Amino acid sequence: MGGHGVKLRAGVVGIGWAGQAHMAAYHAMEDVELVAIAGMEEDVLAELGQTYGLSRLHREWQEMIDAGELDVISVAVPTFLHAPIAVAALEAGIHVLSEKPMARTAAEALEMTEAARKAGRVLEVAFNHRRRGDITVLKQAIDNGELGRPYHARAYWMRRAGIPSLGSWFTNQEMSGGGPLIDIGVHVLDYALHLLGDPEVHSVSAVTHSELGVRGLGGSDWAARRSLESDYEVEDLASALIRFSNGASLILETSWAAYRPNGDEFGITLYGTDGGAELRVVDYESDVPVKIFSGEGEEHTDHELVPVENGNHPAVVQTFIEHVLDRQNWAAYDGSVGLKRAAIIDACYLSAASGREVVLEQNQQGASA
């Protein structure tokens, strides 16, 4: 499989924006051939089949997996389907790249990781925000010691009116697993942990608020979603204080809808023993300089870092394929990064529901016993 001139055969389940990003990435790679896609919208399915010259167009994901002849698969569908599709694919010996969030709960994420370990296959989660050019240069600066030891950070993603279609699967608790915390907050959590060197989480204290969506406010039509006529069952704003075992801390704030300036804004502010940093992105700009604050007293040596080019989905898919081709190290790519994120999100929801701090046990974060 792969290497020696044999192309990896790829399939994509889900034909929305994310699925199409995966298709384009596979199609552009020399050592991969996109051979099959699965999706419910027949006209879109047919159109994409024509674009990529595919003979295998499936209405059902089970049918696509059962038909075999696949080495890798991308899962880009509503969250409640991530675990069943990933587990079925892994059991069929197929390597899996899942969209974020990994699953609705840490229990489902653990099922996926265990299936990957048992099958001896690669399982990864598409955290494309950590592949942004600004995050990349900020990570290099931190790793080079420019901030000293980072001890506190504030990371956020806030929207004015960005609920991904009221009444769709996104706002249905059973299908999505939650609101902005699990949807866009997981990106923020991932890039913050990535920048901080993936410290172990000790505990979380979180609150969630549902004030606008329940009143039919804050909806967005940025993507046409099939309405399920679902009630608004999830939060529209969440905030968490995350304490790390090394003494550092993170405040995470995320919302789909809030009375604030228009558009989307995400970023991170870091405070370290020898310097600080700030990244603020408005409406997905990609050439935002990263501010570095350093120097003592009035002797400032503040400066800005110029971001490298954004990696995004193509970089995520490229890395996934590199890991699939790195056969001796498959065991290292078992989805445990996504599982850790899922355990933290779970703890945040539990804390918000119970009104108390939740301590994460080491084993909850997917550590090997």
pLDDT single digits (tens) 262-309: 999 999 999 999 999 999 999 999 889 999 999 887 788 999 999 999
Residues 104 and 231 reside in one and the same domain: no
Would you state the pLDDT for residue 150?
A: 98
Q: Structurally, how many domains does the chain consist of?
A: 2
Point out the domain boundary residue: 94, 127, 160: 127
Residues 112 and 232 reside in one and the same domain: no
Residues 246 and 277 reside in one and the same domain: yes
Residues 95 and 141 reside in one and the same domain: no
Residues 34 and 171 reside in one and the same domain: no
Residues 189 and 207 reside in one and the same domain: yes
Instruction: Give the H or E element holding residue 155.
Output: strand 150-159
Burial of 336 (0-12, 13-18, 19+ CB in 10 A): buried
Q: Which of 251, 261, 254, 259 is nearest to 235 (CA)?
A: 254
Residues 164 and 305 reside in one and the same domain: yes
Cβ atoms < 10 Å from Cβ of 225: 18
Structure tokens at 350: 């539990």
Point out the domain boundary residue: 262, 295, 310: 310
Domain-embedded: residue 335 = no
Residues 69 and 215 reside in one and the same domain: no
Please enumerate in sequence order all residues whose Cβ is within 8 A of that of 39, keeping only pairs 6 or more positions apart, or say none. Answer: 13, 14, 15, 16, 19, 45, 48, 58, 59
Residues 65 and 118 reside in one and the same domain: yes
Domain-embedded: residue 100 = yes
Task: Please state the length of the chain.
Answer: 369
Domain-embedded: residue 66 = yes
Structure tokens at 116: 């990957």
β-pair type (275-282, 290-296): antiparallel
Q: Which of 151, 148, 154 is nearest to 275 (CA)?
A: 148
Domain-embedded: residue 316 = no
Residues 151 and 290 reside in one and the same domain: yes
CATH of the domain at 108: 3.40.50.720
- pTM (2 decimals)? 0.94
pLDDT digits over 152-192, tens only?
999 999 999 999 988 899 999 999 999 999 999 999 999 99
Would you state the pLDDT for residue 264?
A: 95
Point out the domain boundary residue: 127, 161, 194: 127
Would you state the pLDDT for residue 3?
A: 46
pLDDT digits over 307-357, tens only?
999 998 999 999 999 999 999 999 999 999 999 999 999 999 999 999 999
Domain-embedded: residue 339 = no
Q: What is the dihedral of CA 109, 265, 161, 23, to 10 degrees?
A: -50
Domain-embedded: residue 342 = no
Q: Which of 92, 166, 74, 80 is nearest to 128 (CA)?
A: 74
Residues 99 and 221 reside in one and the same domain: no
Residues 122 and 171 reside in one and the same domain: no
Domain that holds residue 146: 129-310
Domain-embedded: residue 223 = yes
Whole-angstrom Cα Rg for the chain? 21
Domain-embedded: residue 318 = no
